[in-house]
Structure formats: structure tokens, C-alpha cells
Structure 1
Amino acid sequence: MQREEMKEKHQIVIWPVYLDANKARNEGRLTPMSCSVKTPRVMEIFKAAEKLGLHPEHVTGKAHPAAWADKSGYVLVDNIGPKTDLLRRIGTEIIRMRGGKQ
């Protein structure tokens, strides 16, 4: 139980769907299209968060409730600000890592 409390207070869960440009807002995307990427992978999110100094942790074998068959997992990052700001920064970093918008 202590691990769950720590996750809620000091870390934020980042599911790939939050950054997915292929998804609509009502399908779970939380970022604007300018900060979204097509089919983001968990390891891309992990590497982007690492570059941003967010001390990421990859949690495997978990599925977003809306996509219960995809057990790619999620990334936990440090809670250092509003979730929307962190998602935008991570999305922008993934775009930079991919070489810019395609």
C-alpha cells in the first residue's frame, strides 16, 4: 500500500494514449496535436522523461482501461508540476528525438 500512496503523491502515470496523435481527445489523448506523436511507444516516453530529468520508471504488463488488450505498460515520472505541462514537455521531446514533425 505504501507504494501506491507514493505513486499518487510524488509521481504521475503517463500512458502512451495521452500523447497519441492517432487518438481523439475523447479517446484519451490529453495533449494538443502540436505536442502529440503518432503511435508513441513506452520506451520513447521513458527516454524523453529521462532527458527531461523526471526520473522515469517503466511499469510493464499493465493496460490502459480503454485499451485493455494492449499491455504495453506506462511510465511513472516525478510530479514536478501540472500533468498537462509535463505531457507537453514529454511530447515535444519525443518530436525532437524523432527529428521533428513528419
Structure 2
Amino acid sequence: MPDKSKIVIWPLYFDAARSREEGRMISREYAIKEPNLDMIITASIKSGFKPEIEREKRHPRTWHRPEAAGRILVAKTGSKSAILKKIAGSLRAKYKKQAAVKRI
């Protein structure tokens, strides 16, 4: 269990295909389709955090899905929702750029 000075962030917090009941923690406006751990790591670094990566961990609800493996820990510098929203903003900006490139 991580210490109280860090928060746990799972990729499913940002998955637009999931409902809040299924684990999504941000609004659909900021959510993306099929986020993975590497995308979350990149977005957290761009948001100014220094994530600790734990690739072997699995979310308790989705322990049986190999694509849902991994989590990051970041220093608690404010509320969890504010940190998630900041990371989601970076994630969404990168995701929109990739979507625009694929259309061409």
C-alpha cells in the first residue's frame, strides 16, 4: 500500500468507454478511448509530476484483464480530482493530435 503522501492513478480512470460506476473518475469530456499505462505516464510527466511506475499491479476490479495492468503513484500536491484533471488535460491534448494525424 502506498504512503499517504502519494495518490494511486489507474488508466481506467481516464477510459471514455467506462461509466463512473465502472471506475472512470473524470468527465467524459476529458476521457479518451482505450488509455494505457504508457499514455498515462507520458501525460503525467508533461503535467509536471514525477510518477512512480508499477507495471505489475492490477486494479482490483479488472485483475483478470491483462491490458488493464499497471498504475502510477504521484505526489499528493492537491486534491485527487485536481491532479486527475491536470493529467487528463495533457492526455486529451496528445490524443486529439494523434486523432487528427490519423484522419489524413
TM-score by length of 1: 0.86
Please say which of residues 92-101 and 65-74 is displaced more in the overlay.
92-101
The list of structure 1 runs, each at least 4 consecutive aligned residues, that deviate by more than 2 angstroms after superposition, is: 99-102
Check 1:100–1:82 CA distance in 2 against 1; reply closer, same or farther (3 A cut): farther
- 1:57 maps to a residue whose letter is E
SS class of match (2:73)? strand
- 1:84 maps to a residue whose letter is S
Q: Pick from 95, 99, 103: which aligns with 1:98? A: 95
1:57 corresponds to: 52
Which residues of structure 1 form unaligned runs of 5+? none
User: Identity over aligned residues, as a percent?
Assistant: 33
Say whether residues 1:79 and 2:76 are aligned partners: yes
1:8 corresponds to: 3
- 1:17 maps to a residue whose letter is L
- Give the aligned CA root-mean-square deviation in angstroms: 1.7
Report the CA distance between 1:101 and its aligned residue: 9.3
Say whether residues 1:32 and 2:27 are aligned partners: yes
Check 1:98–1:15 CA distance in 2 against 1; reply closer, same or farther (3 A cut): same
Which residues of structure 2 form unaligned runs of 5+? 100-104
Bigger strand fraction: 2
Contact residue 32 and residue 95 of structure 2 kept, 8 A? no
2:14 corresponds to: 19
Contact residue 50 and residue 74 of structure 2 kept, 8 A? yes
Rounded Cα–Cα distance in structure 1 between residues aligned with 2:39 and 2:58: 17
TM-score by length of 2: 0.84
